[in-house]
Structure 1
Amino acid sequence: MGITDFISAAWDTFSTPSPDAEEPAQANKEEESSDEKEESSDDAEEEEEEEEEEETVDPKETLEEECRNSKECHPAKHHYDACVERVTSQIDNDGKASEDCVEEFFHLAHCATACAAPKLFSQLK
């Protein structure tokens, strides 16, 4: 696959409207009768309720958040928070930062993932 194929595929992906996109409003469109409006609003409310019911919370995210704030990951979180403070003060004082907190972030993310994994798999079984 060449670069032109890649760009073409990316263009097709982002330029094609999604099948669930709403129909654009037309100024010349005849107004619906009051009965049709009520029926369509009732249908829309039912669809919204169904969508809300289908949406579930990912337990991995909640477990990782708990682990980030736990005693087990406190050293990694402390280093990350200190780095964020340093970088923020450098930006405030100099307008730019001489470092970033990517390494500290990955240490914190690794700690949270390692802490949450056993809890997550015990919930899934």
Structure 2
Amino acid sequence: MGIADLLSDVWGTFSHPAPDAEAPPTGGSSTSSPAAESGAEKEENKKDAKSDDGGEQGHRPSEGGDEEEEEEEETVDPKDTLEDECKESKECQPAKHHYDECVDRVTGQIDNDGKASEDCIEEFFHLAHCATQCAAPKLFAQLK
């Protein structure tokens, strides 16, 4: 087999779809087939077909509100709460002081020059590390 045969085989493979390839699925679930509907769905579909108001399809919930949606409260991560408390604690006060000074220095540079010559990443990580170290024992005590 020569290189020309190889290239023509590759070209033929990628340029023409195979005749035995499966066609992509079309359509979706059919509401016209009786097997797809339960008894309650059949009744609602009949009511909707009779009332044909504006061409909209589907079931509208009843106005009475037998089933009210319960609003779920977002759960608060205890780790975040404990770390926030620790950042303000006496234990992390030196790290927080250095971070706050750096933030003030950098924002002053941005206000004056339009750009900063430094960032506060190192100070931030020191503060985050302190808060994590402080919060970890309290967190694991809560989880037990």
TM-score, normalised with respect to structure 2: 0.56
Instruction: Write out per-residue CA displacement over residues 85-122 of structure 1, whole angstroms, 9 at most, x where no aligned residue.
Output: 00000000000000000000000000000000000000
Query: For the residues of structure 1 that align with 2:123 and 2:83, how far apart are their CA atoms?
Result: 16
Structure 1 equivalent of residue 56 of structure 2:
30
Structure showing greater Rg: 2
For these two proteins, the number of residue pairs brought into alignment is: 91
Of the three residues 72, 82, 86, the one matched with 1:67 is 86
* Runs of 4+ residues deviating >4 angstroms: none
- In terms of fraction of residues, the more helix-rich structure is 1
What value does the CA root-mean-square deviation take over the aligned residues?
2.4
**Identity of matched residues, %:** 76
Query: Structure 2: 5+ residue runs without aligned partners?
Result: 1-53
Of the three residues 76, 91, 110, the one matched with 1:57 is 76
Structure 2 equivalent of residue 86 of structure 1:
105
Query: For the residues of structure 2 that align with 1:64 and 1:80, how far apart are their CA atoms?
Result: 16
TM-score, normalised with respect to structure 1: 0.64
Indicate how the Cα distance of structure 1 residues 42 and 104 shifts in structure 2: closer, same or farther if over 3 A, else same.
Answer: farther
Query: Structure 1: 5+ residue runs without aligned partners?
Result: 1-27
